[in-house]
Amino acid sequence: MFAVIMAGGRGTRFWPRSRKRRPKQLLAILGEKTILEQTVERSLPLCGWDRMLLVTEGEQAPLIRDLFPQLPSDQLLVEPLGRNTAPCIGLAALFVAERDPEETMVILPADHHIADIEDFRDTLNAAVQAAQEGEVLITLGIPPTFPETGYGYIEQGDPVKSGCARGVWGVKAFHEKPDRKKAEAMLAAGRFFWNSGMFIWTAAAIMKQFARWTPALYRELLGLKNQSGRPGWEKALREAYERMEDISIDYAVMEKADNVRMIEGRFGWNDVGSWEAVYQLSEKDGRGNYFQGPVIDLDSRGCLVYSPQKTVALLGVQDLVVVDTPEALLICPRERSQEVKKIVERLTAEGREDLL
């Protein structure tokens, strides 16, 4: 099996700690290693370096090369521009298919947190076996623990026979990010799972679905076949990407294909989507504060402070996120930390390259 780690995101919700050249997956936002390193180390026992594939964007490539000197240089695929997950997965599938179309790909976002790594690996091994039993697209569904409105949901279908070590299910439908009421109903119903964005399938299986549902993308991929590393590759890749649609794998394939299967992921998953998620995953003090850096606190509760250098004095504040960097300072309530991306949108609109 090939591990395909999608490491092209920006993570704008972690601004100002995340920046264009220092995106979320390259930050040691949980623990001492970067999230990308944690993701790679988690998968390495499954595939080894010779079957590890990283996909990233141009600006991040040098940093990633430095981080993983053991990674064969052709196994870092560099997208010339961000085009969402369908082209990213297409490019990886092309690479794997050129080696062996029947090879299984385990597609993993670079920036998630997994609590039980053993169970995570066992689940992936089972999913790989299921993917090899027949031409199916396997997605991992996470049992929801609260009515999250920030994720898409997978509606579980009927059980499907499989020789693998985990239960395999059909998928009745994909549901987009719900409102609060609908999220509560789905949580209560019990047969809805969070869409984790982790997929398992053979290169041949996904290529066939690209051909069926996104023929334009498929044609671009075919046009790139067997050109990687040859003269003109970068130009050809850029031109192909410029023609490709910006589209997620969910919209492009998963919501349409009729051979989708789901395996439950019960290994403690978190997409580390915001400072609130970091807060939830961190060890708090007796008043529910999580401080990284020198903080003087008088009577504050429920705060997350990231300020590795400057002393921060908090006096009587509650449930705030405070992120201080040499270039900018962010202050917002924890419950609105999803909206930090709006600040990045504003800075982008104002052309503030110095702060992006």
Q: Is the dihedral of CA 199, 126, 36, 273 positive or negative?
A: positive
Residue 193 DSSP class: E
In this structure, are residues 172 and 156 in contact, taking their beta carbons and an 8 Å threshold? yes
Which part of the chain contacts a copy of itself (CB under 8 A), choosing from 42-50, 55-63, 145-153, 307-315?
307-315
Query: What is the spatial distance between Cα 276 and Cα 319, in angstroms, rounded to a whole number?
Result: 10
Query: What is the spatial distance between Cα 238 and Cα 81, in angstroms, rounded to a whole number?
Result: 8
Rank residues 287 and 346 by Cβ distance to a copy of itself and give the closer one. Answer: 346
355 makes contact with a copy of itself (CB under 8 A): yes
Query: What is the spatial distance between Cα 346 and Cα 17, in angstroms, rounded to a whole number?
Result: 16
For 315, half-sphere exposure in the C-beta direction (CA atoms, 13 angstrom radius) is 1
Query: What is the spatial distance between Cα 118 and Cα 205, in angstroms, rounded to a whole number?
Result: 27
Query: What is the spatial distance between Cα 11 and Cα 333, in angstroms, rounded to a whole number?
Result: 18
311 makes contact with a copy of itself (CB under 8 A): yes
| Binding footprint of a copy of itself, residue count (CB under 8 A) | 32
Binding-site string for a copy of itself from residue 240 to residue 279, where x marks contact by CB under 8 A and - marks none: ----------------------------------------
Rank residues 99 and 352 by Cβ distance to a copy of itself and give the closer one. Answer: 352
330 makes contact with a copy of itself (CB under 8 A): yes
> Residues 117, 211, 328, 356: which binds a copy of itself (CB under 8 A)?
328
173 makes contact with a copy of itself (CB under 8 A): no
Q: Give the CA dihedral 16, 21, 24, 26, nearest 10 degrees.
A: -130
Binding-site string for a copy of itself from residue 10 to residue 49, where x marks contact by CB under 8 A and - marks none: -----xx---------------------------------
> Residues 179, 229, 298, 349: which binds a copy of itself (CB under 8 A)?
298
Query: Which distant-in-sequence residues (6+ apart) come within 8 Å of 304 by Cβ?
Result: 275, 278, 279, 282, 289, 290, 291, 320, 321, 322, 334
Which part of the chain contacts a copy of itself (CB under 8 A), choosing from 86-94, 124-132, 221-229, 318-326?
318-326
Q: What is the 3-state secondary structure (H, E, C) of 129-154?
A: HHHHHCCCEEEEEECCCCCCCCCCEE
Q: Least CB distance from residue 321 to a copy of itself, whole Å?
A: 9
Query: Which distant-in-sequence residues (6+ apart) come within 8 Å of 84 by Cβ?
Result: 246, 247, 248
> Residues 286, 327, 349, 351: which binds a copy of itself (CB under 8 A)?
327
Rank residues 200 and 347 by Cβ distance to a copy of itself and give the closer one. Answer: 347
Burial of 115 (0-12, 13-18, 19+ CB in 10 A): exposed
180, two tokens: 């609060």
Rank residues 79 and 324 by Cβ distance to a copy of itself and give the closer one. Answer: 324
Q: Least CB distance from residue 240 to a copy of itself, whole Å?
A: 37
Q: Least CB distance from residue 182 to a copy of itself, whole Å?
A: 24
310 makes contact with a copy of itself (CB under 8 A): yes
Q: Least CB distance from residue 91 to a copy of itself, whole Å?
A: 35
332 makes contact with a copy of itself (CB under 8 A): yes
131 makes contact with a copy of itself (CB under 8 A): no
Rank residues 21 and 243 by Cβ distance to a copy of itself and give the closer one. Answer: 21
Interface ranges with a copy of itself (CB under 8 A): 15-16, 296, 298, 307, 310-317, 320, 322, 324, 326-333, 336, 339-340, 342-343, 346-347, 355
